[in-house]
Amino acid sequence: MPEPSNPLIPAGFDVAWTASAVIVLLLLVVALVSLARTARNLTPTQSLAWTLVAILIPVLGPLAWLFIGRRSAEPRSAG
């Protein structure tokens, strides 16, 4: 006997929401790994703040770290 499907939500929406959730989680993992690798160039307060921003603000938090925070955490050359 086939499993009944929900007539109100098409299967395509279920697949799209699942894919978007996976993408958001992967973005968060990439941002947190990058943050962990760069943490020695940040103060503990900055590390904590960026971690909270990445976790508490979906999509925009990890993107902010990857495009803004990572550049500001790079060590400056004494050129």
* Total domains, the chain: 1
- Domain range for residue 59? 14-71
Residue at 20 is within a domain: yes
Cβ atoms of residues 53 and 64 within 8 Å? yes
Residue at 25 is within a domain: yes
pLDDT tens track, the chain, 79 positions: 667 766 777 778 888 999 999 999 999 999 999 999 998 888 999 999 999 999 999 999 999 999 998 887 777 655 5
| Three-state secondary structure of 7-44 | CCCCHHHHHHHHHHHHHHHHHHHHHHHHHHHHHHHCCH
For 46, the 3-state DSSP assignment is helix
Going by the DSSP 8-state scheme, the letter that residue 61 receives in this structure is H
Per-residue pLDDT, 78: 52
pTM: 0.78
Q: How many residues does the chain have?
A: 79
Residue at 55 is within a domain: yes
